Amino acid sequence: MKLNPGLLKLDLFCRGIKIDASCDLSKDARPVLRTRGGLGSGLELILPKGLYVNAPIEEHFVKKTPYTLIKKYRDYFIKKNGHIICRIKLPARPKFYERMTTSGKLMSRIGVMQGTYLGIYPAKVCEFWQMGKKMNCQFCSVGLNVGNTEEYEKSVEEVLETVKAAQKEEGITFVHFNTGYLFGEELSILEPYIRAVKKETGLLVGVQCPPSPNLSKYDYLKKMGVDHASFCLEVYDRERFKEICPGKDKYIGQEKYWDAIEYCVKIFGKGKVAGEIIAGLENPLDTIKAIENFAKIGAISTVCIFRPCLGTALEALVPPFPEDMTPVFKKMYEVCLENRIPIGIAPNVKVSLVILPEEGKYFFQNFNINFFIMECKLSILKLLFRIYFRTRIFLKCK
Ligand code: SF4
């Protein structure tokens, strides 16, 4: 049977993969760097059709996985229940991971490659981890990582040097900044980093922070040249939101997320704002409701599969069943078609931590005329944006 790489990506998120003794990951692969929220705790793989996945390898549930990574001669393959199902590639260890910033810090402790983009958490630990009674989101491991697997403090110069190294060596087109909750000061803290990266590199920049209490800050963000904004709602059902994200519930509230998403779609445009949701922590029907509501206001959904990272409050849980998740990703794609939301336009932005809206086509069977019209429009938009982006970078480098 023909392999569906979208389904395989989903299955790997839900079941993880074991590493056979034939593999030489220290030589052939990106190191496993547990940074930011912890979702990157797995091994980065490139599946057929160029789909990147960060496959869990260390969590408890991986012991029962049917998948094994093996090496034969120089090539890597995935086996399922003992049978080879496909050849895959391993993205090589980025050279800049070994390099030092001028201040003497390892660049891999400043920024990390996740798929084909660079992710940076430049600020201090999320305040929800610092409160007397811990208010952190139950699945999150930022408080275990910042200051441990990554630098506690990252100066603008250190970030800029790392971004430039990743641009030169890895050809990144996109830098993604995120922070936890910092009493509403998140965007002000990110501002100098964004300014420097925009001015010096011209790369696309995405920002992911809790919603600002002052919505006009997003106008300012847009003026600075930010290309993409995303908001981690995480859980749609209000009671479940309270249980899973106590700090977000008490200090922010779901309404603020919806208000910020709606406001940002108006200024950034359709498809340039994302609502993030974690599938597997609530009934899939609630996840679908979130996806539909994001789409109604012109936002795309980025859907993570719940990963019970080691050391977190939810480490003993298991990810959802893949078969319960296929309607979720089918819907994620359908609503983009129905609401004419452009997806997958940015050049060379492949994400290993989520199934991207455009990858939702692997879950879709209704290849009607609307599908082909949308695919044609997206191809033209992609081409035009690629030309614009390359010209911008060329002019910046001159
Ligand atoms: S807001 Fe929640 S998910 Fe984000 S860093 Fe803080 S605890 Fe983690």
> For 72-109, how does the pLDDT look when each residue is reduced to its tens digit (9 = 90+)?
999 999 999 999 999 999 999 999 999 999 999 999 99
pLDDT reported for residue 397: 62
Average confidence score pLDDT of the chain: 91
The domain limits of the chain are 5-88, 95-385
pLDDT reported for residue 147: 62
Smallest CA separation from ligand 1 atom 4, residue: 180
pLDDT reported for residue 398: 61
Question: What's the 365 CA to ligand 1 centre distance in angstroms?
Answer: 36
Smallest CA separation from ligand 1 atom 2, residue: 137
- Mean pLDDT in residue range 277-289: 97
CA distance 319 to 308: 7
- Mean pLDDT in residue range 48-69: 96
Greater model confidence, 123 or 4: 4
DSSP 3-state of 260: helix
Among the atoms of ligand 1, which is closest to the Cα of residue 126? 6
Among the atoms of ligand 1, which is closest to the Cα of residue 37? 8
Q: Is 128 in the pocket of ligand 1 (CB under 6 A)?
A: yes
Phi, psi of 122 (to 5 degrees): -85, -15
> Nearest Cα to 260, choosing from 296, 289, 218, 305?
218
Smallest CA separation from ligand 1 atom 1, residue: 180
Q: Is 246 in the pocket of ligand 1 (CB under 6 A)?
A: no
Q: What is the pLDDT of residues 220-262, one digit of tens each?
A: 999 999 999 999 999 999 999 999 999 999 999 999 999 999 9
Q: Are 371 and 358 in contact (CB under 8 A)?
A: no
pLDDT reported for residue 141: 86
Strand partners for 231: 275
CB atoms within 10 A of CB 333: 26
Q: What is the pLDDT of residues 333-389, one digit of tens each?
A: 999 988 888 887 777 889 999 999 989 999 987 777 777 887 787 778 777 777 777
Q: Which of 39, 120, 126, 252 to mutate to test the pocket of ligand 1 (most atoms within 8 A of CB)?
A: 126
Q: What is the pLDDT of residues 309-319, one digit of tens each?
A: 998 999 999 99
CATH topology of domain 95-385: TIM Barrel (3.20.20)
Q: Is 357 in the pocket of ligand 1 (CB under 6 A)?
A: no
Q: What residue ranges in the chain does DSSP mark as E strands? A: 18-19, 43-47, 51-55, 67-72, 75-80, 83-88, 112-114, 117-120, 174-178, 204-208, 228-234, 273-279, 300-305
Q: Is 125 in the pocket of ligand 1 (CB under 6 A)?
A: no
Q: Is 142 in the pocket of ligand 1 (CB under 6 A)?
A: yes
> Nearest Cα to 201, choosing from 180, 234, 178, 175?
175
Greater model confidence, 164 or 31: 164
